[in-house]
Amino acid sequence: MGFEPDPVDSFVAPRVSLVNAPLVRIHSECFTGETVSSVRCDCGYQLAEAMRLIQQEGRGVIVYLRQEGRGIGLLEKLKAYNLQDMGHDTVDANLLLNHPADARTYGAARAILADLGVDKLRLLTNNTDKIRQLQGHGTKLDVVCHVPMYPRWWSNDNESSSSNDTLDDSPASELSYSRHLALQKNVMAEADLYLKTKAQRMGHMLSLNPTSPLLLRPLVSKLD
């Protein structure tokens, strides 16, 4: 079972007002990536980067959902890790355990945002399915654009930089999540395989071309 990516042209759009559409990250729990700093995924990095970007703007929302392992739970996720060690990718591992490739739903996130009075947002994500679910089911929630989350370790000069050089001059370097922002390319090979699978099989908006400008600087994009 695979996911068909949408044409790239359908995501291009101009910048939108920061005032009318705050940055929002809807993040699913990842004990392995966030708490024990596993390098199998980019989940810890994505949460930390969302916190950093929202801190820079001075406003925004992080909705934290208890959907470990793309909705299958921690124990089943560890079983999937065993299958990945045998050579299966993250999608096939879930399917072999009789789970969908991605079991997450976002109805709770829509309700939380409605309760907060957020009806327009710029969504920090690479996940097209997340955007579709947020805008479906008759909701009035308007995802005016998505803001891509590309790993810092994908930048060409990251290999030669120190962990301190990968961070900007913001107070983030003094905060508890800074370890996720200082990840280096030489330790993230497993996460890169995970990201490749998400791009090729789950329709995530990630460029796998090492010369692509999308790899180096995120662009603000829009879904029809």
Closest residue by Cα to residue 57 from 18, 20, 27: 18
- Both structure tokens of 54: 């929202």
Query: How many residues does the structure list for the chain?
Result: 224
Residue with tokens 């004990």: 31
Residue 64 CA to residue 109 CA, distance in Å, equals: 8
| Dihedral angle of Cα 192, 129, 206, 163, to the nearest 10 degrees | -50
Residue 161 CA to residue 171 CA, distance in Å, equals: 19
Neighbours of 96 (CB within 10 A): 13
Q: Is 104 a catalytic residue?
A: yes
- Both structure tokens of 64: 């934290």
Please give the full DSSP string across 53-85, using - where no structure is assigned. Answer: HHHHHT--EEEEE--HHHHT-HHHHHHHHHHHH
Q: Which of the following is catalytic: 25, 52, 70, 104?
A: 104
Q: Which of the following is catalytic: 42, 52, 70, 102?
A: 102
Phi/psi at 212 (nearest 5 deg)? -75, 135
Ramachandran area for residue 70 (φ above 0: left; ψ -120 to 50: alpha; else beta): left
**Looking at the annotation, which residues are catalytic?**
102, 104
